[in-house]
């Protein structure tokens, strides 16, 4: 590979926003805009986004009124599962629990396969203000997660999907494209992040879903 090619590749990444993940700005923005205090996150990973969501909620609510519910496989995630779900290796559950406890919010973490834990636990949870779906990325897993949290959506609930990809084999594209537009308002959020892969450019964005006014 020549020096000129490497320079062009580097410039291309910079010009087209590769590897800069600007879409995450929507997490705290939407929590603040909706005055959210009940937060549910599928895909806790390292807890960084969880803490950001909690701190944003605390700007408008006392810490002890903020509730955070997080679902992940945590240390049970193995390499085979990670590869199948296009997921990142999360930190151990007790490490994240200790970090989030310092926020003063009410923290509940649930370990396990969300296609099993969410159907069992979601019926016991209150209606949420903000839901982030960013766990397993296999279309079947995302569909299962959505079906489990849909009953937790109220008139002011914001559901944010990460990983709307220009690819239907993984990510939330298939589910989002198939949502009933009479029941849900669907908004594709900018910016779109772009990542250079072996097969070409991967485009990733977030999608905001709320109940349509007729169903609020």
185 vs 23, 82, 157, CA distance in Å?
19, 31, 12
Instruction: Show the domains of the chain with their CATH numbers.
Output: 22-215 (3.40.50.150)
Task: Tally helices (H) and strands (E) across the chain.
Answer: 8, 7
Say what the pTM is: 0.86
What pLDDT is recorded for position 137?
87
CB 127 within 8 A of CB 157: yes
Task: List the one residue out of 38, 47, 40, 49 whose CA is nearest residue 97.
Answer: 47
pLDDT digits (tens, 9 = 90+) for 85-128: 566 767 889 999 999 999 999 999 999 999 999 999 999 999 99
pLDDT of residue 80: 63
pLDDT band at 1 (very low <50, low <70, confident <90, very high): very low
Q: Which pLDDT tens digit goes with each residue over 169-206? A: 888 999 999 999 999 999 999 999 998 888 888 899 99
For tokens 């939407």, name the residue: 30
- Mean per-residue pLDDT for 35-64? 97
Sheet holding 106-111, edge to edge: 106-111, 67-72, 38-42, 128-133, 153-165, 200-211, 184-197
């Amino acid at each position: 590979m020549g020096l000129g090619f490497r320079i062009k590749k580097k410039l291309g990444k910079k010009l087209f926003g590769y590897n800069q993940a600007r879409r995450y700005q929507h997490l705290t923005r939407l929590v603040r805009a909706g005055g959210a205090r009940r937060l549910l996150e599928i895909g806790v990973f390292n807890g960084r986004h969880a803490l950001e969501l909690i701190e944003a909620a605390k700007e408008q609510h006392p810490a002890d009124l903020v509730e955070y519910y997080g679902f992940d496989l945590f240390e049970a995630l193995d390499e085979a599962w990670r590869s199948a779900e296009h997921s990142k290796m999360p930190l151990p559950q007790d490490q994240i629990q200790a970090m989030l406890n310092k926020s003063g919010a009410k923290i509940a973490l649930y370990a396990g396969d969300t296609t099993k834990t969410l159907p069992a636990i979601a019926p016991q949870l209150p209606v949420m203000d903000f839901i982030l779906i960013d766990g397993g990325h296999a279309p079947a897993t995302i569909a299962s997660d959505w079906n489990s949290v849909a009953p937790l959506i109220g008139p002011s609930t914001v559901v944010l999907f990460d990983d709307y990809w220009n690819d239907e084999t993984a990510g939330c594209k298939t589910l989002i494209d198939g949502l009933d537009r009479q029941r849900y308002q669907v908004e594709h959020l900018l910016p779109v992040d772009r990542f250079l892969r072996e097969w070409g450019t991967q485009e990733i964005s977030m999608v905001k879903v709320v109940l349509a006014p007729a169903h609020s």
